[in-house]
Chain A
Amino acid sequence: MIRVVLPAHLRDLAHVASEFTIDVEGPITPRSIIDALELRYPMLRGTIRDQVTHERRPLVRFFACEEDLSHDPVDNPLPEAVAKGTEPFLIIGSIAGG
């Protein structure tokens, strides 16, 4: 089980708690987690990444284990602590706009 944290607006949209868990198959990467999120919560499609290009939306960031992983390839394995469920994968709305 992978622990996931979503920004407040997306929590409301998906009706999930501030942190929740989700089953992810295969290697634990940003892409596989988002694939699992969009499958389980289809209302999130298009809110984290573009529905066609799958590019991360510009003002969305990916953090884990006190690192900003936003610019890493989305197929890179996430830290083992995320894969083991001891640390969450954080999807963040960037601070912008005052």
Chain B
Amino acid sequence: MSGVRVLVGTRKGAFILSADGTRKDWKVSGPHFAGWEVYHVKGSAVDPNRLYVSQTSGWFGQLVQRSKDGGQTFEPVGNKFVYEGTPGQHKWYDGTPHPWEFKRVWHLEPSLTDPDTIYAGVEDAAFFKSTDAGVTWQELPGLREHRTGKDWAPGAGGLCLHTILIDPTNHRRMYIAISSAGAFRSDDEGVSWTPINKGLKSQYIPDPDAEVGHCVHRIAMHKSRPNVLFMQKHWDVMRSTNAGDSWEEVSGNLPTDFGFTIDVHAHEPDTIFVVPIKSDSEHFPPEGKLRVYRSRSGGDEWEPLTKGLPQSDCYVNVLRDAMAVDSLDSCGVYFGTTGGQVYGSADGGDSWAPIVRDLPPVLSVEVQTLP
């Protein structure tokens, strides 16, 4: 029987949650790398047993771990992330110039065709690539050296490149997002980049047509329609139908359009999920009710999904990389909270149940659908 493996990164280690296709009985493995912050764990689509882990610490820096057996064992691989050339400066919070400094890897995105090729999004924002399964890393400096780079400023979480999407129909096309520079597209596998922020409105930016400076929290796409992108911005849920050339707001009837995460149903490209968060100053669900909102029309019209989720006194957050979907016939949806719960739905969001309740704060959730 097919199954799923949920890869969870937390403030204090990584956890692997496994179940068969019924998704009823779960086995919990971990903590792996106990005590370390694990920003992201992701498996290769080509070789599901190949996992990559971003393990980081304010004391001891960045590590990357690799597994070749689906997370039963790990080995540290390369952790030397060095900017190409002289890194230069970006803007600091107060608008003054600040030197580019590597801090950590936020996101690891394996190639869709080669298990040894992997991309890394890092803080301070830059795009790295490894072609030897993580042993060595090279920056593709075209992003950081973009003419707007000197104007990028960090969001509250840092100047982080947190989202990497690869077009499954054209592997040379990629999208990334940086808080708070915005979204960018590459058509040459990450060598050069174009800002794709037209239509984004951010109240903290004086220029309504600002090319960069937008705090994009997350972008998602469905593999069957890679030109359609969905975005959870700092405020506003957005949609693009032209590969990011322009965006329109689709927040519709959401109770608040602030939030961090967004994802697309595995089999219904117009069905999307968000978790509304009250505001940028109150990072918890409105009214203390943890609700996933689902739109079956690509936005604008949203329905709350509450069955099995706490509907009182819930004050957790769901971070940008902490939602994922499986591709079983009945699409599974998963998300993790800063309260340490990982919730799963085996019926496309209609009903939910906690897989685990008491992990450390969850930073990221990925899912592998296993044969």
Contact = CB atoms under 8 A, between A and B. Distances in A.
Given A9-B35, A9-B36, A93 B79 contact: no
Given A13-B76, A43-B76, A7 B59 contact: yes
Interface string B131-149: 0000000000000000000
Interface string A52-81: 100001011000000000000000000000
B58 A47 contact: no
Contact of B59 (A12, A43, A51, A60): A60
A57 B34 CA distance: 21
A10 B60 contact: yes
Contact of B60 (A51, A52, A93, A97): A93
Given A13-B76, A52-B82, A47 B36 contact: no
Contact of A51 (B34, B36, B57, B80): B80
Contacts of A51: 79-80, 82
A46 B62 contact: yes
Given A9-B35, A9-B36, A60 B80 contact: no
A8 B57 CA distance: 13
B254 to A, nearest CB: 36
A45 interface: yes
A94 interface: yes
Interface in A1-51: 7-10, 12-13, 43, 45-48, 51
B76 A60 contact: no
Contacts of B58: 59, 96-97
Contact of A57 (B35, B60, B76): B60
A59 B303 CA distance: 47
B309 interface: no
29 contacts: A7-B60, A9-B36, A9-B57, A9-B59, A10-B60, A13-B63, A43-B63, A43-B76, A45-B79, A45-B80, A46-B61, A46-B63, A46-B79, A47-B61, A48-B60, A51-B79, A51-B80, A51-B82, A52-B82, A57-B59, A57-B60, A59-B58, A59-B59, A60-B60, A93-B59, A93-B60, A94-B59, A96-B58, A96-B59
Q: Which 6 A-B pairs rank lowest in CB-CB distance, beginning with the nearest? A: A47-B60, A43-B76, A59-B59, A93-B59, A46-B79, A51-B80
Given A7-B60, A57-B60, 4 more contacts: A45-B80, A46-B62, A57-B59, A96-B59
Interface of B: 34-36, 57-63, 76, 79-80, 82
